[in-house]
Structure 1
Amino acid sequence: MSLKNTLTIWFGKLMVKTLHLLGKDAGNAPGLVLWELNKDCLKAFKVDCPIIAVTGTNGKTSVTNYLNHIFESTGKKIITNKQGNNLDTGITSLLLNNCDMKGRVKADYLVLEIDESHVPVIFSKMKLETLVLLNFFRDQLDRNGEVETLILKVKKFLETYEGNVVLNADDPNVSRLGLANLNNKNIYYFSVDRYAGATDKPYEVGEGKFCPKCGTELVYDYYQYSHVGKFKCPKCGFGDVKPYITAKNVKLDVPSVEFEGEEYKISHNSIYYVYNLAAVYTAANLYNFDKKVLHETFEKFEVNNGRLEKFSVDGSELLVNLAKNPVGANMTLRVMNEHKGEKELLFVLNDNLADGHDVSWIWDINFSIFNDVSRVVTSGTRAYDIAIRIKCSGYDPDKIVVKPDLDYAMIEFFKNKGFKYAIANYTAIQPTRAAIKRYNEKVKGGQG
């Protein structure tokens, strides 16, 4: 190891130790400092185990956590960024927290969630074995720019990459990346057969309307959600791929799904969740996992970090989901609409730096499909913006209550008992979960 790399590791480890002694979080700051001092700091680490990375606009935290659980279930030592520090600085901090003074990282596997824009940055300096690509949607425009910019960044990386690539065959924005390096024989597509809720026309605004090869408008047999579905270019044939794994017989009323002739019971009745599991199954299949582990994981494992998370609060059943773009919000609204009978909605919207200050994406949410929503409570720094957006969709303004403070929002939200749904964007999701738990504790303690 060079003197520069040695000093990089020593200084980084000192920062981590100091932060731990002070009771501070060492999940991002040490990496931030190291990148300022040494742009090649990732090369200072010695990682000999396989690295599996998961990226995409929606679902990467859930898929990463599922893969981590599957690997750990077999007794493997896994290093993963469960808390979602998925930028170059976060990955650097993760390695600092798990290496020795010589920069050696001891594990059987690294399973990492990676921000789409940072895939080329990180893996130009570390050897990647498997990359899982879930989807590409418009997301946080003032941070990430247009979708096409992100896709081209990942495409450039894949042009010289020869490791495993797991791709969503049903998203044209992702499927096109299988053409980035025709010499790579390790391309594995996953797909989901048409389910009962699929539509012949798009349900919402999508991104992948035109063929990336010839520019012709794509023809869809059906849409699962947004621009994800069964498509093909009528001119050049783009989209006609043979999936390595296909999720079949999707039954959201059970809920269950079939992989390779076996039925799997699953814990959530959402098509978006099925796509996540298809990605997990495909990646796990590359590592020859016992199907018993997959059965148990798909049926019982819960991420419980605001991704389709269930709560029981004071006689009410609540489902909480993160949404940082129109597709994520529409996902929750569709799940909500599939529940028959009256329900209430809490929408928490922030505009902090990590969210992106531009919240114009809320105008692409399809609120017009509200079914049996008896009341809406809005909260967060942009509580009034989301309230106005919902009002403009035609929803009765007398049924909208604005409570920017989360604790007051909880009091209002749980005033009536019943089925409830909560949508929160990136910096709002953890405060929302915390506020729910605080309210629940007060009620249980007889103080509510």
Structure 2
Amino acid sequence: MLRFIISLWASKLCLFLFKHTGRERDDRPGILALRLCPDFLDRVKKPQLVVAVTGTNGKTTISNLVSNILNLEGKKVAYNTWGANYKAGQARCLLDAVSIFNRPTKDAAVVEVDELLSYKTLPWIQPNYVIVTNICRDSIRRNAHQDLIFSRINEGVSKLPNATLILNADDPNSSFLGENNNKRFFAIADQHADVFETNVSDFPVCPKCGTIPVFNYRHYRAIGNFYCPHCGLKSKTGDFIGTKLDFDKREMLVKEKDGEFKYPLVSDTIFNAFNIMAIITLFRTIGYSPEVIAEHIKHIKLPENRVACEDLGKIKMYTFSAKGQNVSAASTVFEYLAKEPSKKELILLLDEHYGDDPNIETITWLYETDFEYLKNENIKKIIVAGQRYLDYKLRLRLAGIPVEKTVCVFDEQTIPDYVSTDGIESIYVLHDVTTVLRAKKIKDKIKEKITNQ
């Protein structure tokens, strides 16, 4: 106990100094807390409401949106807006939610949880609600295989007998989590969309009998409604179902046991519609009315480190997180860009960089990701830069993308030199989560070039 008290006081002092020296977005107070007391996460008191968010893709987006809605409700919320989801970030988050006497000072905490470590951290955090966004193909080196991630999350939630899981019924992997937990499911009905075929194998066989599953419909990749023709295993039924999505009006109808209600959408992407469905399901389960939730969604927006747009007159410039080394995230973004009708140029900044370390992750993910989607006629040019530029050059050739549509260079600083605006309506800078600042610098240089023309 004495060790925890020393850890709490020392790390609270560290947090105070960091906040008052412009370094609030820093995990080092959490690192200090864990070094002084390794079981800090277990010992620190939690607010009355704790929401944990885990899964492969969408954790930071959903965590931000949940936190924003709680703030709009007048709640004091502890949350790391920059997506720190390892133990140090979680300790930093919960450290901000207690006094030096270990008494809760916040009404709620929204804790982003790394899916690979969830089996350890979820039991320490003891959330009231766990949102699992999805489980799908990710980095081979970091997360190995989706079955491993399923087992890790399942082990974690099995130790939370009082928690309610918020699960995506249209995800054939994560929807079968938590056999003994309370669960609420969300889904989106068949929108009769033109869904591209994919290289990404998120759900190759039935987990019960090994038979190849059949999909009644898909929204993208393996997100959709399936059944097994051999053993009869099938998708879960949603408690909250998005019945009609209107991306032009940015709204959707959601059916539940109490009726059908209209909610706003925060973007024109199907994957963000699923994020909004998760949020609706969470707050309806907590007890908020559809009207209150809908009103709050009108006033929230996607985090700028995931998607941002600037209107430069005749051209719109976007920065868009596409998660390098993550085949499911990159392929989903590529499909969206192929379908988005504007005439565009793409800039790919998907290499992972750690200082001057030239050892960037295995390139096998390039050959599972659907670069073939980028052959679409509305994509006029693709610019790639970074240490792996030659690997991208080869992959683009194998995808059938004409050589005259691509520019592949080593030096990222030269990217603006290759950007042209003739006949272009939009420019997308796609970046990895580790390259947000680099992408912003490139975007600012391109913006300067365009405004000076």
TM-score by length of 2: 0.89
The Cα shift of 1:427 comes to 1.0
Measured against aligned partners, the alpha-carbon deviations of 1:271-306 in whole angstroms (never above 9, x if no partner) come to 111111111110111122243343244445322424
CA contact (8 A) 1:117 1:153 kept: yes
Cα–Cα, structure 1 residues 269 and 48, in superposed 2: closer, same or farther, change >3 Å?
Answer: closer
Q: Say which of 362, 371, 384 aligns to 1:358.
A: 362
Residue 310 of structure 1 is matched in structure 2 by 309
* Counterparts of 1:75 and 1:15, CA distance in 2: 27
Count, aligned residues: 440
* Counterparts of 2:39 and 2:414, CA distance in 1: 47
The Cα shift of 1:256 comes to 2.7
Measured against aligned partners, the alpha-carbon deviations of 1:66-92 in whole angstroms (never above 9, x if no partner) come to 111211111111111211011111111
1:139 aligns with 2:146: no
Residue 394 of structure 1 is matched in structure 2 by 400
Measured against aligned partners, the alpha-carbon deviations of 1:212-254 in whole angstroms (never above 9, x if no partner) come to 2333322211221111111122333322432111111123344
Residue 207 of structure 2 is matched in structure 1 by 212
3-state SS of 1:124 partner? helix
Residue 346 of structure 1 is matched in structure 2 by 347
1:190 aligns with 2:190: no
1:427 aligns with 2:434: yes
* Counterparts of 2:264 and 2:204, CA distance in 1: 34
1:410 aligns with 2:416: yes
CA contact (8 A) 1:54 1:133 kept: yes
* Counterparts of 1:343 and 1:394, CA distance in 2: 18
**CA RMSD, aligned part only?**
2.6
Q: Indicate the larger mover: 262-271 or 19-28.
A: 19-28
Residue 61 of structure 2 is matched in structure 1 by 62
CA contact (8 A) 2:97 2:106 kept: no
* Counterparts of 2:25 and 2:303, CA distance in 1: 22
CA contact (8 A) 2:69 2:300 kept: no
1:320-339 correspondence runs (5 A): 320-324=319-323, 325-339=326-340
The residue type equivalent to 1:220 in the other structure is F
CA contact (8 A) 2:204 2:212 kept: yes
Residue 391 of structure 2 is matched in structure 1 by 385
CA contact (8 A) 1:378 1:384 kept: no
Cα–Cα, structure 1 residues 290 and 381, in superposed 2: closer, same or farther, change >3 Å?
Answer: farther
1:371 aligns with 2:376: yes
The Cα shift of 1:94 comes to 2.1
CA contact (8 A) 1:349 1:428 kept: yes
The residue type equivalent to 2:388 in the other structure is R
The Cα shift of 1:140 comes to 2.0
3-state SS of 1:426 partner? coil
CA contact (8 A) 1:349 1:383 kept: no
CA contact (8 A) 1:391 1:397 kept: yes
CA contact (8 A) 2:137 2:200 kept: no
* Counterparts of 1:390 and 1:329, CA distance in 2: 14
The Cα shift of 1:395 comes to 0.9
3-state SS of 1:280 partner? helix
Cα–Cα, structure 1 residues 440 and 88, in superposed 2: closer, same or farther, change >3 Å?
Answer: same
* Counterparts of 2:315 and 2:413, CA distance in 1: 17
1:283-294 correspondence runs (5 A): 283-294=282-293
Q: Say which of 225, 237, 251 aligns to 1:242.
A: 237
3-state SS of 1:104 partner? coil
Q: Indicate the larger mover: 125-134 or 212-221.
A: 212-221
Cα–Cα, structure 1 residues 50 and 298, in superposed 2: closer, same or farther, change >3 Å?
Answer: closer
The Cα shift of 1:18 comes to 4.5
Moved over 6 A (4+): none
CA contact (8 A) 1:16 1:26 kept: no
The Cα shift of 1:430 comes to 3.4
* Counterparts of 2:432 and 2:387, CA distance in 1: 11
Measured against aligned partners, the alpha-carbon deviations of 1:178-208 in whole angstroms (never above 9, x if no partner) come to 43x2xx3x21111111123254x84342221
Cα–Cα, structure 1 residues 243 and 178, in superposed 2: closer, same or farther, change >3 Å?
Answer: farther
Identity level (%): 24
* Counterparts of 2:387 and 2:21, CA distance in 1: 30
The Cα shift of 1:211 comes to 2.1
3-state SS of 1:241 partner? coil
Cα–Cα, structure 1 residues 414 and 93, in superposed 2: closer, same or farther, change >3 Å?
Answer: farther
CA contact (8 A) 1:255 1:267 kept: yes
3-state SS of 1:279 partner? helix
* Counterparts of 1:300 and 1:268, CA distance in 2: 13
* Counterparts of 1:195 and 1:298, CA distance in 2: 22
